[in-house]
Amino acid sequence: MRDEPLVLGIETSCDETGVGIVRGHTLLANTIASSVEQHARFGGVVPEVASRAHLEAMTPTVERALEQAGLRFADIDAIAVTAGPGLSGALLVGVAAAKAYSLGLGVPLYGVNHLAAHVAVDQLEHGALPKPCIAMLVSGGHSSLLLVPDVAKDIVSLGSTVDDAAGEAFDKVARVLGLPFPGGPYIDRAAQDGSGTAIAFPRGKHDDGTLDFSFSGLKTAVARWVEARERNGESIHVPDVAASFQEAVVDVLTHKALQACRRHGVRDLLIGGGVAANSRLRALAQERCDAAGVRLRVPRPGLCTDNGAMVATLGSDLVAAGVAPSLLDIPADSSLPITTVHV
Amino acid sequence: MLVLAFDTATPAVTAALHDGERVLAESTTVDARRHGELLVPTIETVLREAGVALGDVTAVVAGSGPGPYTGLRVGLVTAQALATSLGVPAYGVCTLDAVAYGSGLAGPFLVATDARRKEVFWGHYEDPRVRLSGPSVDRPQDLPGELPLVGAGARMYAEIVGPSRVTGAPEYPFAGALAALAAEQLGEPDVREVVESGTHPVLSLPRPIYLRRPDAQVPSAPKKVSA
Ligand SMILES: [Zn+2]
């Protein structure tokens, strides 16, 4: 497959400056500079802090990616970049850099949808996506259920969160429990020593017939439960709270994901986004997929969280599909809809 | 020598080419909200008008601010990425210096641009090439002295600083002036070493001058949800 184009992908929609290089569906480099530590003391991503970090990290991260792949600028055939959705000031740094590389190297630019890129990246690990598949993307920024007839051309939104993203709920509950930011890995770890059935937390929208999510009520219920115990001077068993909260989240997520598969007669489910690294989500999804006869695909954690390889992969699919490149005056669009796979 | 210069630290998106002797082309659009969309097409316009190829550019120069951060970053990341992909050096020049250089004034004066939040970014100039102090960020009523004032920040706050002090010089930095100012310096020997040591009076590495910390509050204990 030597003839497939070399695509360099740039991702700056949140707090990771990600640069990936692929040839077709072969991963050659995936480098990341994260500003997560600069946000930790604020308990969430601060947009201006993220934008400043992107500017500092952008060109050094591109050069590290080239080094990792053993390539030179002249080898690159196309540039892909996240055009949205995401934090507008953060997106703008990546989009401006991508246009400059496209202009400077004289190669085409592909502005892509961040969510579609989360779907496309699994192909680096598990080969071409079945057409169609259902994708569930869960992270600090998104909670979406998608029907994906063709990742390069056609994606349909089936449902999304009506309030907090799943990862946001993890962050907020972690704070209530005195665990660090970002909360996901710490809750996951604490939950290993607790019981998921110790406390019956609410499952928002579990049986409402939609494929939407809601995590705000759950987050509040956990905070209330903890405060009530603290008021009475009772000690709190953090592992039980973490495990029971986590169980409520992954129960709703996997329930809805499989409902989506059933409703659309689809037998392949993909889970992506940072929360896909959660061990209980992976285990329960596998269990429920096995019971329903659905094949489950989850990329390894390094490809689930935001990264440049996912952008490069979708760019590579767009080149292969013969899609026209983006113009060099495209905007960064913080609310780019999922129906727009590329701009 | 072929210098490509641009600035996006004010509402003006401006690009120019300079061959070491004169400005070959300059293009400017004033639109405070679309720096990211306008910059590359503006660069393409000046290349076309000057009839030169991007590959002939020997240095990229960007206004390093101070200025509204979102636009400022567009120019600087473009300079860094363009320069590394072309294999040429990139430099920053204080945006206020470009306003000063383009002002046409001879004696001492102040440059003031809009810093939003009822403040201005400003600097004190001996002449169009020599900055005595700044850049700084302050309220217009706190600017010193009786000196003439140049720039959009002077116009905006003319009533506060005194209308008679505000000159008719251009409000914004123009890339032709930026390019000319940089080109004067780029012919000097060892310019790169001096810039990297951080001691060059005009040129710097292409990094932003922010002057303000990000707005962010370290949260106190989690809010109680129950009454
Ligand atoms: Zn993401």
- What is the ipTM score, two decimals? 0.95
Check whether A184 is labelled as a binding-site residue: yes
Testing the interface with B: which of A45, A179, A329, A334 to mutate, by most B Cβ within 10 A? A329
In CATH, what number is assigned to the domain containing residue A114?
Answer: 3.30.420.40
Residue B132 amino acid letter: L
Same-domain pairing of A264 and A288: yes
Residue A44, both tokens: 């969430």
Residues A284, A312, single domain; the answer is no
Instruction: Spell out the alpha helix ranges (H) of chain B.
Output: 35-50, 69-86, 95-101, 152-156, 158-161, 175-186, 191-196
Closest C-alpha among A101, A23, A32 to residue A60: A32
pLDDT of B145 higher than 60 = yes
pLDDT, one tens digit for every residue, chain A (343 residues): 557 999 999 999 999 999 999 999 999 999 999 988 898 888 788 999 999 999 999 999 999 999 999 999 999 999 999 999 999 999 999 999 999 999 999 999 999 999 999 999 999 999 999 999 999 999 988 899 999 999 999 999 999 999 999 999 999 999 999 999 889 999 999 999 999 999 999 998 988 999 999 999 999 999 999 999 999 999 999 999 999 999 999 999 999 999 999 999 999 999 999 999 999 999 999 999 999 999 999 999 999 999 999 999 999 999 999 999 999 999 999 999 999 999 9
**B223 in a structural domain:** no
Same domain membership, residue A89 and residue A37 = yes
Q: Which residue in B73, B81, B224 is closest to A92 by CB distance?
A: B73
The CA-CA-CA angle for residues A121, A150, A113, to 5°, reads 55
Q: Is residue B22 part of a domain?
A: yes
For residue A44, the model assigns a pLDDT of 82
CB B207 within 8 A of CB B79: no
In a shared domain, residues B85 and B115: no
pLDDT of residue A146: 98
Residue B216, domain member (yes or no)? no
pLDDT score recorded for residue A216: 94
Calculate helix-pair angle for A216-231, A238-263, nearest 10 degrees.
160
Residue B225 belongs to some domain of the structure? no
Instruction: Indicate which CATH number applies to the domain containing B51.
Output: 3.30.420.40
B213 within some domain = no
Which residues does A238 contact at the CB level (< 8 Å), separation at least 6?
A: A177, A178, A179, A190, A194
Cβ contact (<8 Å) for B78 and A52?
no
Enumerate chain B positions whose Cβ falls within 8 A of a Cβ in A.
34, 36-41, 43-44, 54, 69-70, 73-74, 76-87, 208, 210, 214-219, 222, 224-226
Separation of A273 CA from ligand 1 center, angstroms? Answer: 6
Q: What is the pLDDT confidence band of residue B226, given thresholds at 50, 70 and 90?
A: low
Q: What is the pLDDT of residues B159-191, one digit of tens each?
A: 999 999 999 888 999 999 999 999 999 989 899
Q: How far is the CA of A118 from the centre of ligand 1 (A)?
A: 7
Please indicate whether, in this complex, the C-beta atoms of B39 and A41 are within 8 angstroms of each other: no
Contacts of B173 (CB under 8 A, 6+ apart): B7, B9, B10, B12, B14, B63, B95, B96, B98, B99, B102
* CA distances, B196 to each of A121, B94, B130, B204, B206 (Å): 39, 16, 20, 7, 11
Give the tokens for residue B212.
């303000």
Q: Is A176 in the same domain as A268?
A: yes
* Residue B110 pLDDT class (50, 70, 90 cuts): very high
Residue A15 domain boundaries: 4-124+301-319
Q: Supply the pLDDT for residue B221.
A: 60
Range of the domain at B102: 97-165
Band of the pLDDT at B220, cuts 50, 70, 90?
low
Chain B residues with beta carbon closer than 8 angstroms to that of A55: 73, 76-77, 208
Number of domain units in chain B: 2
pLDDT given for residue B227 in this prediction: 45
Question: A139 among the known binding-site residues?
Answer: yes
Residue of A nearest to B54 (CA): A104
- Contacts of residue A265, defined as CB under 8 A and 6 or more positions apart, other chains included, come to none
Q: Are residues A39 and A146 in the same domain?
A: no
Could you write out the DSSP letters of every residue in A283-299?
Answer: HHHHHHHHHHT-EEE--
User: Any idea what DSSP says for residue B139?
Assistant: -
Would A156 be classed as within a structural domain? yes
Shared domain for B80 and B177, answered yes or no, is yes
Residues B24 and B52 in one domain: yes
B196–chain A nearest CA distance, Å: 16
Q: Are residues A164 and A282 in the same domain?
A: yes
Count of structural domains within chain A: 2
Query: Does the pTM exceed 0.80?
Result: yes
Mutate to test the interface with B, among A10, A52, A59 (most CBs of B within 10 A): A59
Decide if A42 is inside a domain: yes
Do A307 and A205 lie in one domain? The reply is no
Q: Are residues B17 and B79 in the same domain?
A: yes
Residues of chain A contacting B221 with CB distance shorter than 8 Å: none
